[in-house]
Structures are given as C-alpha cells and as structure tokens.
Amino acid sequence: MMQQLPRERLVVAIDCVAIMEQALASTVEYVKQRTAFDRELIRFQNTRMKLAEAATEATVARTFVDECIQRFDNGTLDDATASMAKWWASDRLGRVVDECVQLFGGYGYMTEYPIARAFADARVQRIFGGTNELMKELIARSL
Ligand SMILES: Cc1cc2nc3c(=O)[nH]c(=O)nc-3n(C[C@H](O)[C@H](O)[C@H](O)COP(=O)(O)OP(=O)(O)OC[C@H]3O[C@@H](n4cnc5c(N)ncnc54)[C@H](O)[C@@H]3O)c2cc1C
C-alpha cells in the first residue's frame, strides 16, 4: 500500500484539475447569461480579472499534473513530486472554486447549483489522501 501512495496522490491531483476546469467552464457560462445593472456579469472588469486568474491557475495546475502523469507512466514519479501535485492542485482548487462561488452570487450557496456542491467537495481534497500539511512534510524530508 505504501508503494501505491504516489498513485493515490496523483489521482487526487487529477480530480482537482478536472473539478477546477469544470467549475471554471460552468462559471463562464453563467456570467455570460446573468445580468446585473443592465449588463452581463462577464462585461464587468472584476469578473474578467477573476476568470483570467482562475483560468491561469487551472492551466498551470494541469500542466504540472500532466507532467506527473507522464512520469507515473514511465515509472519516475517519486513521493515528493506526487506530494507536490496533491497539495498544489487541491490548494488551487480551493481558491478557484471559491472565486467561482463568488461569481454565482447567492446561487453559489444553493445546493441546487453544482458549483455549491463543488465548493463543499473541494474542501476534503486538502484532507484526504494525506493532508496537505503531511504532503509538505514529505517534500521537506526530500530536500
Ligand atoms: C471523505 C473521506 C474519505 C476518506 N477515504 C479514505 C480511504 O479511502 N482510505 C483511507 O485510508 N483513508 C481515507 N480517509 C482518511 C483520510 O486519509 C484522513 O482523514 C487524513 O489522512 C487525515 O488523517 P486524520 O483524519 O487522522 O487527521 P489527523 O492526522 O488527526 O490530522 C488533523 C490535523 O493535524 C495535522 N497534522 C497531523 N500530523 C501532522 C504533522 N506531523 N505535522 C503537521 N500537521 C500535522 C493534519 O494536517 C490535520 O490538519 C478519508 C477521509 C475522508 C474525509
């Protein structure tokens, strides 16, 4: 089981990237149709900045996690790198989904909306599969 831990951590990281991308896509769709002060939310500069930041976070996370997948496939994914992927991706997921909830306004808090569920589910990613604090401890031991 201990030998498979990098794999479990990579799976968590992959989940996080997928949820981030889905949260971002559904938020972009929402802000294009929701209007406030006679204009779509996407036309407010703040909305655009927040989405640009979220898209950047998701892209950077995917790029790193994609590299980890390649390393897993060729047998070179070590414990420390898998731990980096797990804590980094779950940490970014928390930030991205939080911003997405904000852009949904009150609907973001309603469990009828998938973004609210994504927000609740995102929180556990920093806990299970080894807490993010433990991931950092493992990385530190490798330095
Ligand atoms: C929904 C869910 C599904 C789960 N599924 C599984 C599963 O399928 N298989 C499985 O084996 N487990 C599973 N778990 C358990 C999960 O892996 C543990 O909850 C997690 O590893 C944290 O352990 P703990 O709950 O004992 O917290 P604790 O170890 O008590 O940690 C509590 C806090 O103390 C901190 N802490 C602990 N030790 C240190 C340290 N040395 N340095 C700094 N901080 C520290 C932690 O980071 C955390 O913030 C699941 C948990 C949840 C919530």
Would you give per-residue pLDDT tens digits along the chain (143 residues)?
A: 888 899 999 999 999 999 999 999 999 999 999 999 999 999 999 999 999 999 999 999 999 999 999 999 999 999 999 999 999 999 999 999 999 999 999 999 999 999 999 999 999 999 999 999 999 999 999 99
b or e along 53-63 (b: 16 or more beta carbons within 10 Å of the residue's beta carbon)? ebeebbeebbe
Calpha distance 72→9 (Å, rounded):
11
The helix/strand/coil state of 40 is strand
Pick the closest to residue 64 from 14, 105, 129 (CA basis). 14
Calpha distance 10→13 (Å, rounded):
5
Q: pTM value?
A: 0.94
Per-residue model confidence (pLDDT) at position 100: 98
b or e along 1-30 (b: 16 or more beta carbons within 10 Å of the residue's beta carbon)? eeeebbeebbebbbbbbebbbbbbebbbeb
Partner residues linked to 40 by β-bridges: 35
Per-residue model confidence (pLDDT) at position 143: 97
29 as an active site residue: the answer is no
Take atom 5 of ligand 1 and give the residue whose Cα is closest.
128
Per-residue model confidence (pLDDT) at position 43: 97
The helix/strand/coil state of 19 is helix
Residue 25 CA to ligand 1 center (angstroms) comes to 31
Per-residue model confidence (pLDDT) at position 98: 98
Q: Is the CB of 53 under 6 A from ligand 1?
A: no
- Residue 111 has phi, psi (to 5 degrees) of -70, -10
Q: Is the CB of 131 under 6 A from ligand 1?
A: yes
